[in-house]
């Protein structure tokens, strides 16, 4: 990574730390958080998931999915590169979850300091579009997942209506979802919306997602189309 690229990612990390600490959970409607989180838990359970399985939440954000999995008595390690996101996530670790849930700062643009073939399941929810090289990050998720283990990805779709909105419409949509509106939070929403519009990120069709997970050494299992594309895959046996 060049010096300019490092500077870019450090600024990106700082922004997401601030956004995660002050805006992210404030924008999450309860139905949007609990519904998808419960769906992820159900997928992991259905994929031969048993209590005491280890789950990696790669790009855990403020920990909503990790907490839901820990409540289902999976052992969960959440990774995120933004300290503000992690601060919010750690605040959700109650006494009864402490034995099942931990968080660690890590950058999915870099090799993960985790052992090979360690996790029974890996989830990465709306993350791969935000890394410099999605295939590199996917390779690291493949490395740390046990053979036969489950990968669950949530990926943005190119046909999502939100991406056809103007910057003004995008800002208005996100501001309406704020539970507590302050000038600082509105400014952060404006900055994020400008970044989303003028620095577009990758998006995947079902066929592109299937090709990507196949190229990454996974066997495609299923997908579901909603606000995002929910992909389930399995690491091929060695």
pLDDT tens-digit series, residues 51-74: 789 999 999 999 999 999 999 999
HSE on the CB side for 118, CA within 13 Å?
A: 14
Structure tokens at 118: 């360690």
**Overall fold of domain 29-160+203-235:** Rossmann fold (3.40.50)
Structure tokens at 203: 């998006």
Closest CA to 68 of 112, 60, 224: 60
Dump pLDDT digits (tens) for 91-111.
999 999 999 999 999 999 999
Structure tokens at 193: 């919306």
Q: How far apart are CA 39 and CA 42, in angstroms?
A: 5
* 209 has pLDDT over 50: yes
Candidate from 51-65, 73-87, 130-144, 224-238 with smallest mean pLDDT:
224-238
Which pLDDT score, from 0 to 100, does residue 162 have? 62
Q: At 36, is the pLDDT very low, low, confident or very high (cuts 50, 70, 90)? A: confident
* 216 has pLDDT over 90: yes
3-state secondary structure 191-231: HHHHHHHHCCCCCCCHHHHHHHHHHCCEEEEEEEECCEEEE
More confident of the two residues 29 and 68: 68
């Amino acid at each position: 990574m060049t010096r300019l690229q490092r500077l870019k990612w450090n600024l990106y990390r700082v922004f997401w730390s601030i956004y995660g600490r002050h805006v992210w959970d404030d924008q999450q409607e309860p139905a949007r958080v609990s519904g998808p989180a419960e769906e992820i838990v159900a997928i992991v359970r259905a994929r031969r998931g048993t209590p005491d399985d280890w789950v990696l939440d790669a790009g855990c954000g403020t920990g909503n999915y990790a907490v839901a999995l820990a409540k289902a008595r999976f052992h969960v390690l959440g990774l995120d590169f933004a300290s503000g996101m992690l601060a919010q996530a750690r605040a959700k670790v109650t006494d009864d979850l402490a034995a099942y849930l931990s968080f660690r700062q890590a950058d999915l643009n870099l090799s993960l300091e985790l052992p090979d073939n360690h996790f029974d399941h890996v989830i990465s929810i709306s993350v791969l579009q935000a890394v410099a090289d999605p295939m590199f990050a996917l390779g690291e998720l493949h490395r740390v997942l046990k053979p036969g283990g489950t990968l669950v990805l949530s990926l943005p779709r190119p046909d999502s209506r939100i991406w056809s909105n103007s910057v003004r419409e995008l800002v208005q949509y996100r501001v309406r979802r704020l539970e507590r509106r302050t000038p600082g939070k509105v400014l952060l929403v404006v900055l994020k919306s400008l970044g989303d519009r003028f620095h577009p990120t990758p998006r995947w069709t079902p066929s592109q997602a299937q090709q990507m997970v196949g190229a990454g050494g996974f066997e495609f299992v299923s997908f579901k189309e909603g606000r995002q594309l929910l992909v389930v895959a399995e690491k091929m046996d060695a």
